[in-house]
Every structure is written in structure tokens, then in C-alpha cells.
Amino acid sequence: MVIDNRKMKYPGVYAWILLFLVLNMYSVFALERKNACVKIIFDTDMLTDCDDAAALGILHKLADAGEAEILATMVTSSYPMSAPVVDVINTYYNRPDIPIGVPKKGYGVYRDNSSFLDSVAAEFPHRLDSNSEALDAVALYRRILSEQEDSSVVILTVGYMSNLASLLKSAPDCYSALNGMELIRKKVKVWICMGGNFPVDDASDNVNFTRDPESAVYAIAHWPGKIVFAGREIGHTIFVGDRLKNTSIDNPVRRAYQLHRERAKAEHWNHHTADPTAVLLAVRGILNYWNLSECGYIDIKNNCSFVWKDHSEGNQRYIKQKMDRGRLGRILEDLMVIPPDKH
């Protein structure tokens, strides 16, 4: 219906009513956005691949937009500079106080062939000098989870399952009288796991599972809630990153890509988006980006090979590509290149 102001006796009154309605609609929308903010624990290997840096940067930009609250940043790598580089990125995005947890009791994965960690840690501001100064990941998980409302936390792993396996096995402590499995069941809404090739994986190219296979098999088999997998067949078919060349040289994500791609002797900085894809899924859900598989589970072997099994009572699902890959890549790269908010 079109209302003609010229025929109204009191056009000013109509204008004020219209303004009130618009403002009221905006406030309701803002409240919905606030209520939809995802409370997330980000767990990364931050070791060999620059897309971990991009994933954390994108998560910070989604937090800037009010779409996410980053409760903690965990690391599954035992390499000394892994936690400092997470600290660098948190600091760059104006969240230097986000707690960082690392493996402290003999578990975790160590590799010394990172193309970017040492340089990024040396060149950018941060607080942690090495992994040894970070918190114990399992203790931090237990503290953070115990403080949250029931079924409110999204756990996102873009690396190995080392921390989650240890969390599942953890005993009651000063933070909670619940053991690890009970605490997860009570507090975690869903685990978003970047890893696997669907629907069949022969374990020949699945590093997030195979570099710590015992933890992967244990965590997936014993997880007491929902798991949604972002398989490698999704992010490994979308390549972006070249636009980072146009960002500021004080951007540590830019530097990570530069070093990684130079080591690879690549002509461009475009790289796969396995981890950034998982971040978008964890925060925004499937939207019109992906479809979900039927409920089921992965029938996983000790070497991390698996076959997907549909099952009506299964608590696992995986995503299937829906949106055009080029368009989704542009959405991811747009988020990658936005500078930090000025606080």
C-alpha cells in the first residue's frame, strides 16, 4: 500500500510514526544479531599451513561484526612458535587478552618445517615468547566451558584432535565436578571439525586426522554430542589469498601467506580455504553456502581411513557444496582482507 503524504492532514505525524517503526525494526534486528552471536572456541594446529592464519583472521572479522565471540584460542602444535603466532594475530585484531591454550602433558604434534611461524613471531607485536608461556589447553577448556551456559559453545577444530581427546579423558577438577565427557555433553552445542574426505577417505591425504591418529579416532568415536565435518573436498577446491598483497604490510596474515607461498615457489598467493571454510560454517551455519548430509557417522579405522554411514540416529553430518565455488571464495577473501576495527 502506498500512502500519499499530500492527502494527510498531519504529514509530520506520519513522518514521526514511520521513523518510529523503522527504528523499532532496527532495534529488533540488532537484538536478533546479538542473540545469534556464536560463542566459539577456536582450536588450530598453526604450524605448517598459512590458511590457519587466514581462518583466525576471518574469525576476528566475524567477531568485529558481532557474529561471534571468541572465548579462547587453542593450539595442538608443540612447536614453540605456534602459540606466539596465534598471539600475534589476536593482538593485530585488537584482542590481545584472548586466552591461549597449548598441549602441556606430553601430547600434541611437533613438526619443525613451518615456512612462516618463526618470522611472523619475530616481526610482529605479541606477548607470549613461546608455547611454554601459554596456558594448559585442557585446563583452559574446562574453565571456559564451566563458565558458559548449557549447550551454548561451538568448538571449532581446524587442526588435530589432540586437545579434544585429552579433554574427553579429563577428570573433575577445581573448575567442574564433571568429567570431560560430561562437561562436553552439558556445555557444547556442536563440534565443527575441519577434516576428512567425504564420503570415503583412504587416509592418504587427511593430515588433520593422520598426524595424530590416536586422538582423532578417540575423539570422533567418543564425542557425546553433535559433530559437523567440513571435509577437505570443500575447501581444497576453493583457492584465494592473492588480494592479501594489497593489504598493509603490518598484517601478519599477509606475511604468513607471503612466506608460505614463497617457500612453495608459487607465482601467486592463492591457497586452499579448508580452514576458512570451517570458520564460516561454525559462525554462520550452512545458509545458502552448503547442504548437510543425512545424519550418520564415519566408520573410522585406526589408520584414520573411513567410510561414511547414513544412520537415522547418528549424531554426525558433513557439508556438501551448494553455492558456486567462485562466489564463496569471494566471500572468504573479502573477509580476509578487511583491516581490524579501530578500537
pTM of the model: 0.89
- Retrieve residue 15's grid coordinates: 513522518
The residues pairing with 89 across neighbouring beta strands, listed in sequence order, are none
Domain residue extents for the chain = 38-337
Please report how many Cα atoms fall inside a 13 Å half-sphere around the Cα of residue 149, on the Cβ side.
Answer: 3
Amino acid 87 reads D
Query: Strand, helix or coil at 56?
Result: helix
User: CA 5 → CA 13, 24, 59, 199, distances in Å?
Assistant: 10, 21, 46, 61
For residues 17 and 46, give the distance between their C-alpha atoms in angstroms, rounded to a whole number: 53
pLDDT, residue 319, reads 98
The separation between the first and the last C-alpha atoms of the chain, rounded to the nearest angstrom, is 44
- Retrieve residue 257's grid coordinates: 601467506
pLDDT, residue 17, reads 37
Judge whether 266 and 245 are in contact, CB under 8 Å. no
Nearest to 101 by CA among 143, 68, 64: 143
- Retrieve residue 262's grid coordinates: 614463497
Q: Which CATH superfamily is domain 38-337 in?
A: Ribonucleoside hydrolase-like (3.90.245.10)
Tens digit of each residue's pLDDT (9 = 90 or more) over 238-284: 999 999 999 999 999 999 999 999 999 998 999 999 999 999 999 99
The residues pairing with 69 across neighbouring beta strands, listed in sequence order, are 39
Tens digit of each residue's pLDDT (9 = 90 or more) over 71-100: 999 999 999 999 999 999 999 999 999 999
The residues pairing with 140 across neighbouring beta strands, listed in sequence order, are none
For residues 290 and 288, give the distance between their C-alpha atoms in angstroms, rounded to a whole number: 6
Please provide the average confidence, as pLDDT, over all residues in the chain.
Answer: 90
Residues of the chain with pLDDT under 50: 1-35
pLDDT, residue 343, reads 62
- By CB atoms closer than 10 A (0-12, 13-18, 19+), residue 312 is exposed
